[in-house]
């Protein structure tokens, strides 16, 4: 793939506008009712090229998807929805869930998601049905004020952004310096198609515009949503993000260099212009150096290296899918539903920010709806929740 700039015209049905306009989606249902047929703006060449680019750079794509998930957990609504609608209460449950999620995303890149016979298409349908079920459950459990939706067009669009924003806005810091503008535009178009199939309307599909428009909108979203959420993350959110990494390492341990949560979060925080303000241990510093060298160097610019790493990933995923998860801890993870405000682990780069953390709007769901007792009573309540969401 070349590095020269290639202009590509992308048909656009409607403009996303500024972040303030995008917030209108908070009151709109996350599924707009779009069909599973190819939309009028579909460009076959861009779609197929985008899928091939993502498959060729699978390692970076999956890492950015995982980073998007970890960063997204610091936002109140996604965190609360995940905690109440998925298996997030033990390392074993987390491992099973996110290995399954990874396999689903792989099917999107391996096959044509518009082909009803493909595994990718079936996977998109399942994910869309899960979103609908989760939204119905949350609205019944605790309706939001002012007509807002738990899974809204706003949050669907924001989640869509989280999956690819780092790849598009910081390719040179994430091993994608070999991609051209055409390659990046094709990734955006491919994810526009994914968003469409998941029920995102064109008005809130953040991939509807050009490469420059996507980057400008992402800057606004990071400034208004991502940074404030990271800088006010509470104990439960940080614990969930750490547990996801720990669960994935438990089901697919590294043979040579062990990834550490502090190194992972410190690396992606600095990419976003936020500093992880914690002292790193020697193993964390070494892991961070490896990540920086790998992603900011030229190793991933060589096709053969990308092929070898992708092959390794697929082998590891296959092993993880067949792994005996009974050996992974199935005890309840403590403090997942804690809204205690720890000393904030993030500060803005080159500027320490002091923020007084207050409870999110509407109080944290698990705190407001659970019994006030502690100990065995609270444990029974959490086990009841687990039985309901499994």
Per-residue model confidence as pLDDT tens digits over 87-137: 778 888 888 888 889 999 999 999 999 999 999 999 999 999 999 999 999
Under DSSP, is residue 152 helix (H, G, I), strand (E, B) or coil?
Answer: strand
Of 40, 17, 54, the C-alpha closest to 206 is 17
Torsional class of 234: left (φ above 0), alpha (ψ -120 to 50), beta (otherwise): beta
CB half-sphere exposure, 301, CA atoms < 13 A: 12
- Identify the sign of the CA torsion 124, 8, 21, 65: positive
Would you say 322 and 293 are in contact if contact means Cβ atoms under 8 Å apart?
A: no
| pLDDT attached to residue 168 | 95
Please give the Cα distance from 336 to 89 (Å, whole number).
8
Q: State CA 238 to chain mean position distance.
A: 15
Beta bridge partner(s), residue 348? 274, 351
Length of the chain measured in residues: 390
3-state helix, strand, coil in the chain (%, to 5): 60, 0, 35
Cβ–Cβ contacts within 10 Å for residue 351, how many?
A: 7
Would you say 104 and 113 are in contact if contact means Cβ atoms under 8 Å apart?
A: no
Would you say 59 and 309 are in contact if contact means Cβ atoms under 8 Å apart?
A: yes
Per-residue model confidence as pLDDT tens digits over 296-340: 999 999 999 999 999 998 988 888 887 777 777 777 787 777 777
Please give the Cα distance from 188 to 39 (Å, whole number).
15
| pLDDT attached to residue 278 | 79
Please give the Cα distance from 140 to 344 (Å, whole number).
33
User: What is the phi/psi pair of residue 131, to 5°?
Assistant: -60, -45
| pLDDT attached to residue 11 | 38
Which tokens sit at 238?
């940080």
Please give the Cα distance from 87 to 96 (Å, whole number).
8
Please give the Cα distance from 257 to 111 (Å, whole number).
32
pLDDT digits (tens), the chain, 390 positions: 443 333 333 333 333 457 888 999 999 999 999 999 999 999 999 999 999 999 999 999 999 999 999 888 989 899 999 888 767 788 888 888 888 899 999 999 999 999 999 999 999 999 999 999 999 999 998 888 888 999 999 999 999 999 999 999 999 999 999 999 999 999 999 999 999 999 999 999 999 989 999 999 999 998 899 888 888 888 888 888 889 998 888 887 776 678 888 899 889 888 887 777 778 899 999 999 999 999 999 999 999 999 999 999 898 888 888 777 777 777 778 777 777 765 556 655 544 333 333 333 333 333 333 333 333 333 333 334 433 333
DSSP conformation letters of 62-123: HHHHHHHHHHHTTSHHHHHHHHHHS--SSHHHHHHHHHHHHHHHHHHHHS-TT-TTSHHHHH
Beta bridge partner(s), residue 275? 347
> First-to-last CA distance in the chain?
44
Would you say 271 and 174 are in contact if contact means Cβ atoms under 8 Å apart?
A: yes
| pLDDT attached to residue 347 | 55
Which tokens sit at 78?
């996604």
Q: What is the pTM of this model?
A: 0.82
Would you say 252 and 320 are in contact if contact means Cβ atoms under 8 Å apart?
A: yes
Would you say 80 and 364 are in contact if contact means Cβ atoms under 8 Å apart?
A: yes
Please give the Cα distance from 73 to 346 (Å, whole number).
14
Please give the Cα distance from 265 to 46 (Å, whole number).
32
């Amino acid at each position: 793939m070349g590095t020269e700039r290639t202009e590509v015209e992308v048909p656009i049905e409607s403009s996303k506008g500024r972040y303030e306009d995008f917030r209108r989606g908070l009151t709109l249902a996350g599924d707009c009712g779009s069909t599973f047929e190819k939309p009028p703006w579909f460009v076959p060449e861009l779609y197929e090229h985008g899928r091939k680019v993502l498959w060729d750079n699978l390692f970076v794509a999956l890492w950015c998807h995982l980073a998007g998930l970890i960063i997204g957990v610091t936002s109140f609504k996604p965190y609360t929805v995940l905690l109440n609608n998925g298996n997030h209460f033990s390392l074993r449950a987390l491992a099973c869930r996110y290995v399954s999620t990874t396999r689903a995303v792989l099917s999107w890149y391996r096959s044509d998601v518009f082909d009803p016979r493909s595994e990718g298409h079936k996977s998109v349908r399942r994910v869309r049905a899960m979103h609908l079920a989760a939204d119905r459950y949350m609205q019944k459990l605790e309706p939001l004020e002012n007509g807002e939706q738990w899974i809204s067009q706003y949050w669907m669009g924001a989640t869509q952004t989280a999956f690819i924003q780092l790849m598009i806005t910081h390719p040179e810091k994430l091993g994608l310096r070999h991609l051209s503008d055409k390659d990046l535009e094709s990734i955006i178009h491919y994810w526009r198609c994914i968003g469409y199939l998941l029920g995102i309307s064109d008005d809130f599909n953040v991939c509807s515009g050009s490469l420059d428009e996507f980057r400008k909108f992402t800057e606004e979203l990071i400034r208004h949503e991502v940074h404030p959420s990271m800088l006010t993350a509470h104990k439960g959110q940080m614990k969930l993000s750490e547990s996801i990494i720990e669960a994935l390492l438990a089901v697919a341990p590294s043979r040579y260099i062990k990834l550490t949560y502090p190194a992972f979060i410190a690396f992606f925080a600095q990419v976003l212009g936020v500093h992880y303000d914690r002292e790193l241990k020697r193993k964390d510093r070494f892991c961070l150096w490896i990540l920086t060298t790998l992603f900011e160097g030229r190793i991933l610019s060589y096709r053969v290296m990308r092929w070898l790493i992708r092959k390794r990933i697929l082998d590891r995923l296959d092993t993880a899918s067949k792994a005996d998860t009974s050996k992974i801890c199935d005890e309840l993870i403590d403090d997942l539903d804690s809204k205690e405000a720890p000393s904030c682990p993030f500060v803005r780069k080159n500027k320490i920010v002091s923020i007084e953390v207050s409870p999110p709007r509407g109080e944290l769901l698990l705190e407001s709806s659970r019994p006030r007792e502690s100990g065995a009573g609270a444990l029974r309540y959490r086990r009841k929740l687990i039985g309901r969401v499994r």
